[in-house]
Structure 1
Amino acid sequence: MKSYDIIVIGGGSGGLTVAAGAVGFGAKVALIEKEREPGGDCLHTGCVPSKALIAAAKELYTARKAAQAYGLELQGEADYGEAFRRVQAAKAAIQPHDSTERFRTLGVDVFYGYGQFRDFHHIEINGDEVIFGKRIVIATGSRAAIPPIEGLQDVDYLTNESVFDMRALPKSLVVIGGGPVGLELGQALARLGCKVTVIDRGTRLLSKEDEEIVPYVQAALEKEMSLMPHTAVHKVEALPGGRKRLYIEQDGNMLQVEADALFIAAGRKPNTDRLGLSHIGIEMDGDHIAAKRTLQTNIPHIYAVGDVIKSFPYTHAAGMEGKIVVGNAVFGLKRKVSYDNVPWVTYTDPEIFHLGMTEKEAREQVGDEICIYKLSLDEVDRFITDGHTEGIVKVITDRKGRILGAHAVGKGAGEWMQQAVLAKHYGHKLSDISQVVHPYPAYSEALMKTANQYWQGKLFQGVTGRLLQAYVKRFR
C-alpha cells in the first residue's frame, strides 16, 4: 500500500493549488482525479470555455453594430462551428498548465477515478486500489443542480457540462436560471443568432448584486433576449422534432413557452455524494461540507476547499483556499480564511464587478453611519470617447473612508475596478485612490473620480469647508 503525506481528492483549482504547493515544499502527494485530465469544472466546462464563447459572440456582435453604424450591411448566418472551434482551442491551450504530465513532472502521483473514504486515513480508488494519507484534502467541486420539475427527466436538456459540446446552434433556447451562468451564456448564444428566453424564480435577476447595479445590466440584456423574472416552471414536455414545451407561472398567470433547446442554470450541487463521508462522520451543512475557518472539517487532518464548502463558489476563491491549506496541512499552521476582500465578476456585457458589502448589507451590518459615493460613467471622458457610457461606480465606506463595498457595471469593469481590491485588502481609505495619478484618458479614472468625491465632501462642505473658506477670505 502506498502512503502519502497529503492526498488530494479532486483536480480543480483548489486541489491543484494544494498538490503543487505541497509537493514544492517536499511533501509526498497523491492526486485523485475522476476526469481524463485535471483542470476541473473551470477549465473543461466553466470559466475557460464560457469566456471563449463570450469573446467570440462579442466579436460578432460588435461587428454587426459597427457595420450598422457606418451604413454597411452584414448578410448571412454566423458559422457557429467557428465559435465551437475557438472554445476547444482555448481549452487545449490552457490544458498543459493543469495536465497530468506536468503534475507528475512536479512529483505528484496522479490516480484516475473516484476516491472514497474507507476510514479516517485510507482512500479507496474506484473500489480497487487503496492508499494511505496522513492528511486529506477534499476538493471535488460541484455540478449543475437539476431542479425538481415535472417531466424534466423525460427531455433532453443542456447544462454547463454539455452546452460547450454543441456542434450546431439551436434556433431558440430557454434558460432556467437568471444567475451569472444563465445570463452570461444566454447573452452569448443570443449574439450568435439564437432566440433566448431566460426564466428565473426570483423577484429580480442577480439577487446578490447591489440593487442600483442590476437595472443597467437588465436594460442591456433586454435588448438582446427575453427576460422573465418571478416566473416558476411547473412542467416540461417533449414535442415532435426535439422541441420542448414549458408550462410556467408568472405573477399568477399560467403561460406556455416553446423552444428547440433547454439549458439548466439553476445553481450548483457539491460533489460530496460519492465520497463516503458518512462512513467517517464528516459534519455536513446540507449537501456541503462544514468547514472551519482553517478549512479543517470536524476531523482535523481532513480539509475541504472549493465548491464542496459553502463559501465563495469561484475559481479564484478555491485557489486562495488551496494556498491556506498548504500552509496549514504541510506546516501545521492555523491560518484562517477570509472572504472580506475577495471580488467576483459577472461577465455579461456590460460586466459587473462586486467587492464586499452591498449598500443593503452595509446598512444591516454597520448601520446608517456609512457613506455612499457614486459616479455615472457618462462623466468619464474615456467612456464618452468610446461610446460606452451606460454604467455606474458605487463605493460604500465607513465614516473614516474605509471601503466596505465597491461595485460597478460597465465595459471591462472587472479590470479597471481592481485597484479597489488592493485598497480594501491593505486597509487604504477611498481617499488614497484619489491621491494616485491615473493616466488620461483611461477607464480607471472612473474609480478615481468616485474617490475624488471624498475630498469634495471634506474640503468644501461641513465644518472643515467653512473653516477653509473663512481662512481664504481673511488671509488671502
Structure 2
Amino acid sequence: MRKVTVAIIGAGTAGLTAYRAARKHTDSILLIDPGPLGTTCARVGCMPSKLLIAAADTAWHMRHADMFGVSAADIQVDGHKVMQRVRRMRDRFVGKVLEGMESIPEQDMLHKPVRFISDHLLETADGQLIEAEKIVIATGSRPAVPEFLQKAGKRLLLNDDLFELDTLPESVAVFGPGVIGLELGQALLRLGVRVRMFGVGGAVGPIGDDEIRQAAVQCFSAEFPLDPDAQVKEIRETDRAVEVTFIHTDEKPLTEHFDYLLAATGRRPNVDRLGLDQTHLQLDDRGVPVFDPQTLQCSVEHIFIAGDANNHLPLLHEAADEGGIAGRNAALLPDVQPGDRTVPLAVVFSDPQIATIGMRPANIHEQFSGRFAEAVYDFAYQARAKVLGRDRGLMKVWAETGSGTLLGAEILGPDAEHLAHLLAWAMQQQLSVSDLLAMPYYHPVLEEGLRSLLRDLQTRL
C-alpha cells in the first residue's frame, strides 16, 4: 500500500493547478490520471473549436466582401485542409500542455484509474491501494447525450468526434443551441455545411435575459434554421444518413436527412465511476459531492472537488482558480480558507458573440429587488459597428441604485469578448457607473456604445 499526504484525481486544468498549489506545502503528493493527458480545453474544447471558427470566419468575410465594394469571387473551402489544420494546431496546444507536465517528478504520477474503497482509501483496477490523508477530486467532465439522440447510431457525433473527421460533412443536425452547439454549428455552416439546429426549452447559449435571448434567436435564425424549443418526433439511422422528423413552422411534421447528428447537449461530471458510494460523502441529485464553492471542501472534510467535476462553473479559468484553492486547502487542512474568486465571466465565440458578466439577471432581480436599474443598448445605432458591417445585437447592464455599483451585464454583439473583459475588470474593482463614465473613450470604437449605455443607466439610477 502506498501512503501519501495529498492525492489528486485528475490531471486536467484543475488537477494540475491543484498539484502545483499543494506541492508548495508538501512533497508527499500523488497526481492520478489514466490519460489521455492534455486538458479538455486543449484536446476537444476551446482550442480546436476556435481553430474551426477562425476558418469559418475567414470564409464568411470573403463571401460578404461585396458589401465593401470588394470582389472575392470563386471562394472554395477545402474540407480536408481545414480539418488538417485544426488537428495540427490542436496537437501543438496539447503538446505545450504535456511539455508543462514534464517538470512533474515521475514518482508523483500514477497513470491508472482509481476508485474509492473508503474515505481515505483508493484502489486501482489491478488492486494497487493508495491511502491518502487528503484527496482532491478533479476528474473533469464528458459529453452528456440524451438517450433519444443515441438513435442516430453511427451517425451520432460528439464535439470530441467532430475534430477527428477527415473532411467536412455535407450536412449536420445540431442538437443543443448552447455554447458548444452555437460555436460549432455556426462554424460548420460558414464552411459550407448545411445545418439545422434544435433546442429544448427556448434557451440560447448562457443568456439569462429574455430580451437579449429573443434578439439572439432572431440573429442566428437569419443565418440558419434554429428552433430553440423544437418538437422532435423521431430520430432514425439509415444506411446513408440520419433522419430527423420534427414539427415545422406550419405545424406539420417534416423529415430531413443529415450526414451526422451533432449532440451538443452539455457535459456531465466524471464522478459516477469513482465509487463515491463507498464514502461518507453527501451527494446531490446528480451524484456530485456537495461542496462549499468558496473553499471547495466537501461534506467529508478531507475531500475537495474542483473544476468541471463539480459542474459549478465549467470554464477553464474557473477550473484553474478552483484547483488552486482546493490544492492549497487540502495541503494545509485544517487551515481551510475561502479562495479569491474573480467576477464570473463567460464568452461564446459565435457571431455575434455572447458574453455574460457578473450576476445573472434572475439573481439580480431576486437579491436586489427594488434596488437596481438596468439599461439596454442596440448595436444597430453604433457607428463603429455599422462601419464594420456588424451592427447586430443588444447589450444590457444592471447596477445598484444609490451606489451605482455594477451588478451584471449580458452582451450579444460584435467583439463582445473585449467589452466583456472591460466590464469584468470594472466589476472586479467595484467601479461604479460614474467611475466608468469618467474613463477615456476614443472615437470611433465599439466602446462608445458602452458609454452610451452607461449614460442611459446613469439617468435611471
- Percent identical pairs in the alignment equals 27
- The 5-angstrom pairing of residues 167-246 of structure 1 reads 167-206=166-205, 208-241=207-240, 243-246=241-244
Where relative contact order (Cα < 8 A, 6+ residues apart) is larger, the structure is 2
1:247 aligned partner, one-letter code: T
Does the CA contact (< 8 Å) of 1:6 and 1:27 recur in 2? Answer: no
Does the CA contact (< 8 Å) of 2:149 and 2:263 recur in 1? Answer: no
Q: Secondary structure at the match of 1:372?
A: strand
Shift of 1:53: 0.9
- Separation (CA, whole Å) in 2 of partners of 1:365 and 1:313: 24
Structure 2: where are the runs of 5+ without partners? none
Q: Secondary structure at the match of 1:149?
A: helix
Alignment correspondent of 1:450: 453
- Separation (CA, whole Å) in 2 of partners of 1:347 and 1:150: 25
- Separation (CA, whole Å) in 1 of partners of 2:49 and 2:398: 31
What do residues 203-236 of structure 1 show as CA deviations (whole Å, max 9, x unaligned)? 3433643222223332332233211222133432
- Separation (CA, whole Å) in 2 of partners of 1:283 and 1:308: 15
Moved more, 420-429 or 348-357: 420-429
Counterpart among 432, 436, 439 of residue 433 in structure 1? 436
Alignment correspondent of 1:93: 92
Alignment correspondent of 1:248: 246
Alignment correspondent of 1:264: 263
Moved more, 120-129 or 299-308: 120-129
- Separation (CA, whole Å) in 2 of partners of 1:141 and 1:357: 25
Moved more, 301-310 or 360-369: 360-369
Alignment correspondent of 1:3: 3
Number of corresponding residues = 455
Does the CA contact (< 8 Å) of 1:340 and 1:356 recur in 2? Answer: no
Shift of 1:457: 5.7
Alignment correspondent of 1:413: 416
Counterpart among 324, 334, 337 of residue 335 in structure 1? 337
Counterpart among 359, 363, 366 of residue 365 in structure 2? 363
Runs of 4+ residues over 4 Å off in structure 1 = 249-253, 337-340, 454-458
What do residues 100-149 of structure 1 show as CA deviations (whole Å, max 9, x unaligned)? x5334144622223121122223223334333322111111111111121
Q: Secondary structure at the match of 1:165?
A: coil
- Separation (CA, whole Å) in 1 of partners of 2:237 and 2:419: 46
Cα distance, 1:199–1:192 mapped onto 2, change above 3 Å: same
Cα distance, 1:236–1:69 mapped onto 2, change above 3 Å: same
Alignment correspondent of 1:345: 347
Cα distance, 1:358–1:281 mapped onto 2, change above 3 Å: closer
Cα distance, 1:267–1:234 mapped onto 2, change above 3 Å: farther
Shift of 1:288: 2.2
Shift of 1:454: 4.7
- Separation (CA, whole Å) in 2 of partners of 1:457 and 1:5: 55
Moved more, 53-62 or 387-396: 387-396
2:348 aligned partner, one-letter code: T
Structure 1: where are the runs of 5+ without partners? 459-476
1:385 aligned partner, one-letter code: V
Q: Secondary structure at the match of 1:440?
A: coil
- Separation (CA, whole Å) in 2 of partners of 1:186 and 1:212: 23
Alignment correspondent of 1:397: 399
Q: Find the structure with the greater CA-based Rg.
A: 1
What do residues 31-78 of structure 1 show as CA deviations (whole Å, max 9, x unaligned)? 122323232x21111111111111111111111211565352532641
Q: Secondary structure at the match of 1:198?
A: strand
Does the CA contact (< 8 Å) of 1:248 and 1:255 recur in 2? Answer: yes
Q: Secondary structure at the match of 2:90?
A: helix
Cα distance, 1:388–1:209 mapped onto 2, change above 3 Å: same
Does the CA contact (< 8 Å) of 1:376 and 1:391 recur in 2? Answer: yes
Does the CA contact (< 8 Å) of 2:345 and 2:420 recur in 1? Answer: no
Alignment correspondent of 1:467: none
Q: Does 1:115 align with 2:117?
A: no
- Separation (CA, whole Å) in 2 of partners of 1:20 and 1:202: 41
- Separation (CA, whole Å) in 2 of partners of 1:206 and 1:15: 27
Alignment correspondent of 1:280: 279
- Separation (CA, whole Å) in 2 of partners of 1:112 and 1:201: 39
Does the CA contact (< 8 Å) of 1:123 and 1:131 recur in 2? Answer: yes
Q: Secondary structure at the match of 1:341?
A: coil
Cα distance, 1:305–1:253 mapped onto 2, change above 3 Å: farther
TM-score, normalised to structure 2's length? 0.91
Q: Does 1:22 align with 2:38?
A: no
Q: Secondary structure at the match of 2:183?
A: helix
What do residues 158-185 of structure 1 show as CA deviations (whole Å, max 9, x unaligned)? 0012111111211111011121111110
- Separation (CA, whole Å) in 2 of partners of 1:288 and 1:367: 32
- Separation (CA, whole Å) in 1 of partners of 2:375 and 2:44: 38
Alignment correspondent of 1:324: 325
Shift of 1:378: 4.0
- Separation (CA, whole Å) in 2 of partners of 1:6 and 1:423: 37
Shift of 1:456: 5.0
- Separation (CA, whole Å) in 1 of partners of 2:361 and 2:297: 32
Shift of 1:150: 7.4
Shift of 1:398: 1.2
- Separation (CA, whole Å) in 2 of partners of 1:327 and 1:438: 41
Q: Does 1:301 align with 2:297?
A: no
- Separation (CA, whole Å) in 2 of partners of 1:445 and 1:150: 45
- Separation (CA, whole Å) in 2 of partners of 1:404 and 1:43: 32
Does the CA contact (< 8 Å) of 2:151 and 2:237 recur in 1? Answer: no
1:157 aligned partner, one-letter code: L
TM-score, normalised to structure 1's length? 0.88
Cα distance, 1:444–1:33 mapped onto 2, change above 3 Å: farther
What do residues 372-427 of structure 1 show as CA deviations (whole Å, max 9, x unaligned)? 12223344443233232222321101112111111112111112221211222232
- Separation (CA, whole Å) in 1 of partners of 2:203 and 2:97: 38
